[in-house]
Amino acid sequence: MILIWMATKSTTADRAPATAEPATLVLLCLAAWAVPGAGHLWLGRRQKGIIFLLALPLMFLTGIWLQGRIFPFEVSEPLVVLGAIAHLGIGLPWFLAQAMDFGRGIVTAQTYEYGNTFMIVAGLLNFLVMLDAFDIGMGRK
Amino acid sequence: MTDHFLLLALFALFVSIVFATLLRDEPREQARLGGMMFGGFLAAAFVLGWLMYPLPL
């Protein structure tokens, strides 16, 4: 109900359509996934891009700071794989955290589950941001 | 930082900012929607918290 209300209240249709080539759209989606907000910056939505660029990596970092764990791709544990896919949604910060050996997680920490939630939601939100950039690139918004 | 309410508020703040930015184009409307969502998250947490208060855990 709330989502329907939000969708009908959206005021994004005033901009000029910007349909792009399929190859450009793929690159756009890759950029939007790798660097949160990059897709919007590419399309000239500077304000939105900067907000995403700041908020999403900061949310992911907060999760790491709260002792959250970057889930591995363990096929034997389907829920862990789903969590790993959600984490991967944040793009480049995920690779940087892996390279720096961050996100090992301390299960006994009071904030462990909070950290996991921050990291998972940051990744999932970046997927939404990527889809939004795709829609703008397609000229739907 | 282990204050659960503060962490809840921080989470609500991040989610509100991102959703408001996604769903609205004008900064003023974004701020309005973000504020409403943030307030809604906090209010829901308070209400649910009090509703769960009598539960034996």
Q: What is the pLDDT of residues A34-54, one digit of tens each?
A: 999 999 999 999 999 999 999
Q: Which of A11, A62, A118 minimises the CB distance to B24?
A: A11
Does B45 reach chain A within 8 Å, measured CB to CB? no
Has residue A29 got a pLDDT over 60? Answer: yes
* Residue in chain A lying closest to B19 (CA): A125
Has residue A6 got a pLDDT over 50? Answer: no
Paired tokens of A107: 């299960």
A62 burial (CB, 10 Å; 0-12 / 13-18 / 19+) is buried
Q: What CA–CA distance (Å, rounded) separates A80 from A73?
A: 7
What pLDDT band is residue A18 in, cutting at 50, 70 and 90? low
What pLDDT band is residue B57 in, cutting at 50, 70 and 90? low
- Picking from B3, B4, B6, B7 by the largest number of A CB atoms within 10 A of its own CB, the best residue to mutate is B7
